Amino acid sequence: MVRRAAFVYGEALSRHTLSEVHPMKPIRIRYTYDLLDELGAFDATEVTVVEPRIAEQHEVLRFHNEAYVRAVGILSRGDHLSNPDEFNFGSGDNPVYTGMYEASMLSTGASLLAAEMLVRGEVQAAFNISGGLHHAMPGYASGFCIFNDPVIAIQYLIKQGLKVAYVDIDCHHGDGVQHAFYDTDKVLTISLHESAEFIFPGTGFTHEIGLGRGRGFSVNLPLYPFTTDGLYLWAFREIVPPLVRAFKPDVLVSQMGVDSHFADPITHGALTVQGFGDVVTELNDLAPLWLGLGGGGYDLQAVARAWSVAFGVMSQQDFPEQIPTVYREEHGVSSLTDHNDMQIKDSLRSDARVFAENSVQAIRGLIFPTHNIGVV
């Protein structure tokens, strides 16, 4: 049975360019839509494609400070700003580009619209692949992210009286979301990511467990480079389902970056599309309502295939393995899942296993008692 699900999409979400050499390519949003369309994902009567809306400034100001939001607008218009470095804009991760304010307000509005549809009871699951920009901080841009749409959407859900669990499977730690909710027990945040010992943003260690009322509600599961499907899924199952079920959320918000894929050019991930899909499937029954967001992912076809698989899970549809002809001929990919993977040395596999086991054990000791989960 197909679940009532919404896919938030408009061509404007994929039109902007951060820079010619920047790894974040918004065209991946259009590729995903095109692939899903050819797979027949939007033909189901229970599935709705909805145009995004633009976020209101007061909505963005729930998390970001006024000086920062004003600076983004000034730089977006091409006007001079004497201190762009103060807001972490420059030629590297966070370049200034024309229209960045409008693009960021649109992707944020798309996440808010998805959340609103859930609250109104129009759908049970909603997916905004342009969202998931989890690094942005209240007063500065970070890690390709300008406005933190996961935080803003979660704040909206909380305001509606809903209990929210946030699960982040991006290869990078969801530091901006953790920062927003670090001292509250109203949101359970869980991030699975490549360890900060090896990759940006340098946070997300197991000892980061929250402060005050939030102690025990910030969960970090760092993993070793080249963690493969089976080990990743094992670690996920050991931690995420028991914690989310103990928390009993009304809504699950999942950030589903695809930069843990073995073909990603800027991380050390080793997941396949089917491994990614297996993890998304684990999320399927953890809450009555599900807000899915995009995130990282810099191999464009891995992203399009993985997010297509994810929406299949969210809408409870099975897609054929063979990529439809038009998309296959345009993009040179023939199958939805991967038929090869990364060759990894046994020593690396062993190191990854030990690292994952240590992370899991640390979380059991630091976090599980807060939620009255027995430690075996």
Q: Is 120 exposed, middle or buried (0-12, 13-18, 19+ CB in 10 A)?
A: exposed
Place of tokens 């994902």: 41
User: Residue 85, Cβ neighbours under 10 Å: how many?
Assistant: 10
Of 16, 135, 179, 268, which residue is the catalytic one?
135
Query: Closest Cα partner for 62 from 18, 111, 102?
Result: 111
Helix axes 66-76, 100-119, angle to 10 degrees: 130
Residue 139 host element (H or E): none
For the record, the structure tokens of 56 come out as: 């209101």
Cβ proximity of 255 and 265 under 8 Å: no
Q: What are phi and psi of 275, to 5 degrees?
A: -65, -45
Active site residue 268: no
Instruction: For residues 191 and 213, give the distance between their C-alpha atoms in angstroms, rounded to a whole number.
Output: 19
Task: Write the CA distances from 269 to 51, 226, 346, integer angstroms.
Answer: 33, 5, 16
List the catalytic residues: 135
